[in-house]
């Protein structure tokens, strides 16, 4: 988390960190984050849709809705 990050960017970074910590286990990641599994799945789907839309429109992923701006994956 760095100054200037939006809440959406902070949320995505937290989700990515939880998934790394749990070796990609969505159930454990959701539990670690204190959110429901369905909520985590919905957010991941939103990120994927935003990245797909960015590719279709020739935008870099960080310009996609919910896209990362710091290059972290």
Distances (CA, A) of 50 to 20, 32, 67: 21, 24, 7
Centroid of chain to Cα 71: 12
Which ranges of the chain have pLDDT less than 50?
63-64, 67-73
Quick one: pLDDT at residue 61? 56
Q: Note whether 54 and 41 are within 8 A (CB).
A: no
Quick one: pLDDT at residue 12? 95
Quick one: pLDDT at residue 29? 98
- Which residue is listed with tokens 């701006």? 69
Quick one: pLDDT at residue 49? 86
């Amino acid at each position: 988390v760095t100054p200037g990050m939006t809440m959406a960017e902070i949320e995505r970074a937290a989700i990515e960190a939880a998934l790394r910590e749990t070796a990609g286990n969505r159930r454990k990641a959701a539990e670690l984050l204190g959110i429901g599994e369905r909520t985590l799945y919905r957010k991941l789907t939103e990120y994927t849709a935003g990245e797909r839309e960015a590719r279709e429109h020739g935008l870099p992923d960080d310009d996609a809705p919910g896209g990362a701006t710091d290059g972290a994956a």
